Structure 1
Amino acid sequence: MCGALLYEVERTMFRSRSLKDVPLLAALAVVYFAAGKLGLKLASVNASATAIWPCTGIALAALLILGYRVWPGILAGAFLVNLTTAGTLTTSIGIAIGNTLEGVAACYLVNRFAGGQRAFQRARDIFKFAFLAGMVSTTVSATVGVTTLALGGFADWAMLGAIWTTWWLGDAVGAVVVTPFLLLWRENPRLNWNRKQIVEFAFWFVGLFFTAWIVFGGRFHSGQKNYPLEYFCVPFLIWAAFRFGRRQGATAICALAAVATWGTLHGFGPFSRESQNTSLLLLQLFMGIMAITTLALAAEISQHKRAGERFRLAVESAPNAMVMIDRQGKIVMVNSQAVKMFGYNREELTGQSVEALIPERFRGGHPEHRMGFSSSPRARPMGAGRDLYAVRKDGSEFPVEIGLNPIDTEEGPLVLSAIVDISERKRADEEIQRLATRDPLTGLANYRRLRDALDAEINRFGRTGKSFAVILLDLDGLKKINDAYGHLTGSRALCRLAAILRLHSRGIDTAARYGGDEFVLVLPETESKEAEQVANRISRRLHEDGEHPPLSVSTGTAIFPQDGLTLEELLGAADRALYKQKGSQKKKLRIPG
């Protein structure tokens, strides 16, 4: 029961769809019939064989766009054309079947191997289309049609070769001329042109029509027929391919074919011969070659433009600033991130020397580096191991990282630079470095930084022979302050001493918090007497800082190399001097590992 119900539903849907297709099929049959009657008016070798047969292109376009379901419209149109022209009911049916099979075979082959409706987007698919739809599938109609005529007694067996050639070539050229025209206009029926493009198109159209009229309109003397005058039209086809694309290229072919066919039929142009059929065959051969060439050229150019547009879109949407320069160092393209980064507008940057984006102190050597990259181009970071800087329009400098990528173009080698502003990263790195080498409470150097400073001074002594001093400072009574006033006041006391150390230290000195209440001051190129003066000044300034509670500090100094040759020896000597100053029993100094 379910199976019967499903069958009934499918049959109802098929009937409904078939009824909806009737107007479409009828319209296709009418168009096919009209085009076929027009083509057969030019038949000379046989009433059913003509060198001008646009129906093949119409049928193939309909099948590619609407699908195989429109084959009845093609069959009906082909049948009516042949029935009203010559032959019998039987021969008309045979020829109509051949025409329909030709279209169906071409549609299958093009869909399977040449990209279907997108066959005209790439040159290689255009050549496949020309071979499959123009040369292979058209043999079906020509073979079936000629055989039908011969068996029906409407064609002389001796003429079968000429009839078959005429039939085949007419169908082939109809496929490569008419199908692209219909498909490309259906793909994009709008003309989104600006005024400049409209003016150029007008000049092109007038030029093409005028040239075609001269070549095929009988403007040359009949004695010049053997001259290759038809090639005067080729520049206009190339113009259309380069400037207007595939759709206008297909249109140009159709327009030229119309003018050339009219002129050839009237005995004008380089293809005019005593035999009309020979004249049309020569013309069709020329038009077929020109159609394939023009479409392939237009497709390559369009594909090149699409690739360029995709590249520009990729550059524009890149998260980094992108600057492209030519071999002379001129900026040829920038993206919005570069405009934002450097503060220029796009027009100001384009055409300007790339040195304008480099700080003045680095500009002198940049052309040499640029030429060095041009001589050995490869993708790599710029200035590896060095700090790089760029400059904005307002003159402010900022650190950057730059990646260089060579690009080969038709205009010559270009270099695409990806520029990253690393100011935030630099600040973050500096902050991390500061936190790694600074005491979090006082902001002075920590023990790690202190060791580095002492090692650096010891190494410098080995080079220069100049000694240095170490002052050890111990904040007196810190525990009593914490007990009496709280740890917040105790921490403030440590910061008060740190502030005094910063205020009374030179830029080359290193002030560090060594332990809980102990601090160290490293004084390069300083002798014992000078170190004592610094220690006394710091002690006095701390006592007089005016804050509550009042503070005092005990100090001890040591001189390298008299008092020690290592960090531990120097700090031990300073510690002994400190506790000697305190006048109390010496406590053992703990040295962190």
Structure 2
Amino acid sequence: MVGIRDLELRRTVVFAVQTLAVAVCYYGAGRLGLIRRLVVEGAVFTPIWPPTGVAVASLLILGLRAWLGIALGVLLVILSITTLRPVALVNVVGNTAAPVCAYLLLRKVGFRTDLARLRDGLALVFLAALTSMLLSASVGVGLLILTGKIAAESFWPVWLGWWVGDAMGVLIVTPVLLLLRTARRPLLLSRWKEAAGLAVICLALVPLATRSTVSLLFLVYPLLIWAALRFLLAGSMLCALFTSVMATIAATDRIGPFARLSRIEVMIKLQAFNGTMALTALLLSAVIMEQRNTRRSVERACQELVEVLEHLTAGEAPPGRQPRDPDRGG
């Protein structure tokens, strides 16, 4: 009886700690996201909303029980920017329901957190990011209209900015968090040298591309391809994350390729760039990883076939099989 009570107490403590950790991470990501904001049609939104990525990653790692920590994190973010009103609870529901919907859809299609298959990358893009975040954007913008904070004719521009910001959080932040959870094996010395070279080039080229008055954003894509080919998802997503942050800073400061553009044009250009870059990094890495895994499976099958043929040639039974007894009929 005492053992059962201790087990229940331990589970309760673990659940409380996990809930608090998710809430703190969500709140911290929210504060980071609020540092850089865009204003469209009188509404303020973030081009990348990291908490959605934190929420989806938490659900994929901890399971459905993480929803309470997400709801608490949403509430903390709201309290940090405004006073709590009953109508704000609708936003809590919307911002909690969207990641939960993403988790349920991903689980339904057999999503694997290692993102080693193309189907996993496609599921994260189309189910978790683009489809599920429709819920949070619709609830949030609809609430702004109902409370009279924006005009009804401003629905679509504001809704688009909100939706893409939430989706970008899933596309960029969730893969990085899933990778950090599984990162264990250190690189070889030769790979560290190449990784350091790639990092130095990124640190020099990305700020130039995002701040130059000449449109040089296309220079980022060779870096993404290099990172994906040599360092798979870890390299490409870290490169994409850094580039998205630098592009967002340039857009909110209205400098470089985002200078002399209207607010809506800045939003469209930034979101289109971030979206295509994240899609390129995620899907290209998934394709490369899937091809490598397929090649390794074929190599293992060929090696096993060679071993079987060698045993048969030597007149021995293949590994794992008993030799046939001639005195027994079969």
User: What's the TM-score once normalised by structure 2's chain length?
Assistant: 0.85
Which among 128, 134, 142 is matched to residue 133 of structure 1?
Answer: 128
Query: How many angstroms does 1:300 deviate by?
Result: 1.6
1:466-477 equivalence runs, <5 A: none
Equivalent residue number for residue 78 of structure 2 = 82
* Contact kept? 1:261, 1:280, Cα under 8 Å: no
Residue deviations 1:447-479 (CA, integer Å, cap 9, x gap) = xxxxxxxxxxxxxxxxxxxxxxxxxxxxxxxxx
- Structure 2 unaligned regions, length at least 5: 317-330
* Contact kept? 2:250, 2:258, Cα under 8 Å: no
Matched, 1:167 2:138: no
Equivalent residue number for residue 91 of structure 2 = 95
Which among 294, 298, 308 is matched to residue 281 of structure 2?
Answer: 294
Query: How many angstroms does 1:16 deviate by?
Result: 5.4
Matched, 1:314 2:301: yes
Which among 232, 247, 256 is matched to residue 245 of structure 1?
Answer: 232
> Secondary structure of the equivalent of 1:44?
strand
Query: How many angstroms does 1:65 deviate by?
Result: 0.6
State how far apart, in whole Å, the 1-side matches of 2:231 and 2:56 are.
25
Residue deviations 1:428-449 (CA, integer Å, cap 9, x gap) = xxxxxxxxxxxxxxxxxxxxxx
Query: How many angstroms does 1:305 deviate by?
Result: 1.6
Query: How many angstroms does 1:290 deviate by?
Result: 1.6
Equivalent residue number for residue 200 of structure 1 = 194
Query: How many angstroms does 1:299 deviate by?
Result: 1.6
Which among 284, 303, 326 is matched to residue 290 of structure 2?
Answer: 303
Q: Which amino acid aligns with 2:253?
A: H
State how far apart, in whole Å, the 2-side matches of 1:181 and 1:239 are.
18
1:486-525 equivalence runs, <5 A: none
State how far apart, in whole Å, the 2-side matches of 1:121 and 1:17 are.
32
Matched, 1:70 2:57: no
State how far apart, in whole Å, the 2-side matches of 1:96 and 1:273 are.
36
Equivalent residue number for residue 329 of structure 1 = none
The verdict on how the C-alpha distance between 1:30 and 1:207 changes in structure 2, with shifts beyond 3 A counting, is same
Matched, 1:234 2:221: yes
> Secondary structure of the equivalent of 1:34?
helix
Query: How many angstroms does 1:17 deviate by?
Result: 2.8
Residue deviations 1:514-563 (CA, integer Å, cap 9, x gap) = xxxxxxxxxxxxxxxxxxxxxxxxxxxxxxxxxxxxxxxxxxxxxxxxxx
Equivalent residue number for residue 442 of structure 1 = none
Q: Which amino acid aligns with 1:169?
A: V
Residue deviations 1:549-584 (CA, integer Å, cap 9, x gap) = xxxxxxxxxxxxxxxxxxxxxxxxxxxxxxxxxxxx
Equivalent residue number for residue 55 of structure 1 = 51
Q: Which amino acid aligns with 1:129?
A: L
Where in structure 1 do 4 or more consecutive aligned residues deviate above 6 Å? 9-15, 418-421
* Contact kept? 2:118, 2:287, Cα under 8 Å: yes
Equivalent residue number for residue 20 of structure 1 = 14
Equivalent residue number for residue 489 of structure 1 = none
Matched, 1:29 2:3: no
Residue deviations 1:82-136 (CA, integer Å, cap 9, x gap) = 2331364223211111000001000001111251424x22123312221111111
Equivalent residue number for residue 359 of structure 1 = none
> Secondary structure of the equivalent of 1:51?
coil
1:359-438 equivalence runs, <5 A: none
State how far apart, in whole Å, the 1-side matches of 2:120 and 2:73 are.
29
> Secondary structure of the equivalent of 2:163?
helix
Q: Which amino acid aligns with 2:297?
A: R
Equivalent residue number for residue 409 of structure 1 = none
Once the two structures are aligned, what percentage of the paired residues are identical? Answer: 32
Which among 173, 197, 200 is matched to residue 178 of structure 1?
Answer: 173
> Secondary structure of the equivalent of 2:181?
helix
State how far apart, in whole Å, the 1-side matches of 2:89 and 2:45 are.
15
- Structure 1 unaligned regions, length at least 5: 322-417, 426-593
Size of the alignment, in residue pairs? Answer: 313
Q: Which amino acid aligns with 2:219?
A: F
Residue deviations 1:413-436 (CA, integer Å, cap 9, x gap) = xxxxx67895879xxxxxxxxxxx
> Secondary structure of the equivalent of 1:89?
coil
Q: Which amino acid aligns with 1:310?
A: S
State how far apart, in whole Å, the 1-side matches of 2:158 and 2:63 are.
31
Query: How many angstroms does 1:183 deviate by?
Result: 0.9
Query: How many angstroms does 1:15 deviate by?
Result: 6.7
Equivalent residue number for residue 106 of structure 1 = 102
> Secondary structure of the equivalent of 1:117?
coil
* Contact kept? 1:49, 1:167, Cα under 8 Å: yes
Q: Which amino acid aligns with 1:179?
A: T
Q: Greater share of strand residues, 1 or 2? A: 1
Q: Which amino acid aligns with 1:298?
A: S
Q: Which amino acid aligns with 2:106?
A: V
Q: Which amino acid aligns with 2:157?
A: A
Tell me whether 133-142 or 267-276 shows the greater mean CA deviation.
267-276
Whose RCO is larger (CA < 8 A, sep 6+)?
2
* Contact kept? 1:123, 1:295, Cα under 8 Å: no
The verdict on how the C-alpha distance between 1:110 and 1:421 changes in structure 2, with shifts beyond 3 A counting, is closer
* Contact kept? 2:38, 2:45, Cα under 8 Å: yes
> Secondary structure of the equivalent of 1:245?
helix
Residue deviations 1:177-197 (CA, integer Å, cap 9, x gap) = 11111112212x124211111
User: What's the TM-score once normalised by structure 1's chain length?
Assistant: 0.49
Tell me whether 44-53 or 76-85 shows the greater mean CA deviation.
44-53
* Contact kept? 1:176, 1:291, Cα under 8 Å: yes
* Contact kept? 1:47, 1:86, Cα under 8 Å: no
Q: Greater share of helix residues, 1 or 2? A: 2
State how far apart, in whole Å, the 1-side matches of 2:193 and 2:38 are.
40
Equivalent residue number for residue 256 of structure 1 = 243
1:433-448 equivalence runs, <5 A: none
* Contact kept? 1:123, 1:300, Cα under 8 Å: yes
The verdict on how the C-alpha distance between 1:277 and 1:35 changes in structure 2, with shifts beyond 3 A counting, is farther
Q: Which amino acid aligns with 1:25?
A: T
1:508-547 equivalence runs, <5 A: none
Which among 139, 153, 170 is matched to residue 144 of structure 1?
Answer: 139
Q: Which amino acid aligns with 1:65?
A: I
Q: Which amino acid aligns with 1:36?
A: G
Q: Which amino acid aligns with 1:300?
A: V
Query: How many angstroms does 1:51 deviate by?
Result: 2.2
